[in-house]
């Protein structure tokens, strides 16, 4: 088996994991109406599992060299070939790293926020549309992790991540892999 087949197999596996996590997220969302902490934790567990699986797909398709080193030309060429075989555009919602990094490097985000924040009003692991949070007083608020169940978006500080758009891209990718590599 060659490296391209191995990478394609791993992309497929991570897509399946992402879809499983998304399913867990949608099921957990129904249970959160009971305001049980365990059910809220289950939702955030599913969100994190989704983000990690999507990050793994992204890292395979758009690799980067760690710690400022250079990516070997062979690796770059191989991954470009994979993207071309899968008809992935550079504008794919699977490519951006920034949002994924918020979840993978949460400890640094807390440190950065604490160093820059004057008000220190932090809301974490919130579920709900931001404009409908009556318990939060007006002023500078940092939403470290917020899930909007109406728009299906994750919000980290001032940035939004469109989950349904990513799920569609993952589903499309699974179909392309099944059609060409099963």
pLDDT tens profile 25-59: 999 988 766 566 777 889 999 999 999 999 999 99
Taking only the tens place, the pLDDT of each residue in 6-21 is 999 999 999 999 999 9
C-beta atoms surrounding 157 within 10 Å: 14
Q: Is the pLDDT of residue 139 over 60?
A: no
Euclidean distance between the first and final Cα of the chain, in Å?
14
Taking only the tens place, the pLDDT of each residue in 75-119 is 999 999 999 999 999 999 999 887 777 878 888 888 888 888 776
- Give Cα separations from 154 to 19, 161, 163 (angstroms): 16, 5, 7
pTM, to two decimals: 0.87
What pLDDT was estimated at residue 140?
Answer: 67
- Which is nearest to 143 in space by CA: 160, 128, 123, 127? 123
């Amino acid at each position: 088996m060659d490296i391209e087949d191995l990478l394609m197999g791993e992309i497929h596996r991570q897509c399946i994991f992402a879809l499983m996590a998304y399913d867990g997220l949608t099921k957990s969302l129904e249970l959160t109406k009971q305001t049980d902490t365990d059910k809220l934790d289950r939702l955030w567990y599913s969100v994190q599992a989704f983000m990690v699986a999507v990050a793994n797909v992204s890292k395979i398709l758009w690799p980067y060299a760690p710690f400022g080193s250079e990516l070997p030309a062979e690796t770059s060429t191989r991954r470009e070939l994979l993207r071309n075989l899968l008809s992935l555009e550079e504008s794919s919602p699977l490519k951006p790293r920034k949002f994924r990094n918020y979840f993978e490097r949460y400890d640094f985000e807390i440190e950065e926020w604490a160093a820059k924040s004057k008000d220190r009003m932090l809301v974490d692991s919130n579920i709900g549309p931001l404009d409908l949070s009556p318990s939060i007083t007006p002023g500078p608020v940092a939403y470290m992790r917020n899930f909007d169940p109406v728009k299906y978006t994750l919000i980290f500080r001032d940035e939004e991540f469109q989950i349904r758009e990513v799920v569609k891209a993952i589903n499309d990718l699974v179909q392309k892999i099944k059609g060409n590599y099963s």
